[in-house]
């Protein structure tokens, strides 16, 4: 999320992370791993899972698979979010109560307004 705060100065980002994290970052709506991370990153960047890196590529080999992900910041006019802090709170609250219907997520009402 820190890199997103500086997206205007970034053209392209590549990260090697645990495969599970990359899968969540690039998840499509409706998939089991689609969640807060997917929404927040995809709202600001094009997220592309590039390739997997097996444990054998490292010495000593880790107990997890890795993957490389590419993130390309979207142009500000394509983002379409006026209040970034509000957007982040709504996404956090919506995905923080996964087992409840969204209408029961109490904290989605901003500052007591209805």
Per-residue model confidence as pLDDT tens digits over 59-104: 999 999 999 999 999 998 899 899 989 999 999 998 887 665 555 5
**R_g over Cα of the chain:** 17
Does 44 have pLDDT greater than 60?
Answer: yes
* Under 8 Å between Cβ of 28 and 39: no
- Residues sharing a CB contact under 8 Å with residue 83, sequence separation 6 or more, in sequence order: none
Query: Dihedral of CA 93/46/49/28: which sign?
Result: positive
Give residue 1's pLDDT: 76
User: Domains of the chain, with CATH numbers?
Assistant: 3-100 (3.40.50.150)
Give residue 8's pLDDT: 78
The two structure tokens encoding residue 59? 């010495």
What mean pLDDT comes out for the span 47-65?
96
**Count of residues in the chain:** 114
Question: DSSP secondary-structure letter at 33?
Answer: T
The two structure tokens encoding residue 6? 């500086």
* Under 8 Å between Cβ of 9 and 22: no
């Amino acid at each position: 999320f820190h890199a997103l705060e500086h997206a205007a100065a970034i053209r392209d980002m590549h990260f090697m992370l645990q495969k599970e994290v990359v899968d969540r970052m690039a998840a499509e709506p409706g998939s089991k791993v689609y969640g807060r991370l997917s929404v927040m990153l995809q709202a600001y960047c094009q997220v592309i899972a590039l390739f997997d890196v097996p444990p054998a590529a490292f010495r000593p080999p880790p107990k997890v698979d890795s993957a490389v992900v590419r993130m390309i910041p979207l142009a500000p006019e394509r983002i379409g979010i006026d209040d970034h802090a509000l957007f982040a709170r709504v996404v956090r609250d919506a995905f923080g109560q996964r087992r409840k219907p969204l209408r029961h997520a109490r904290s989605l009402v901003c500052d007591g307004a209805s």
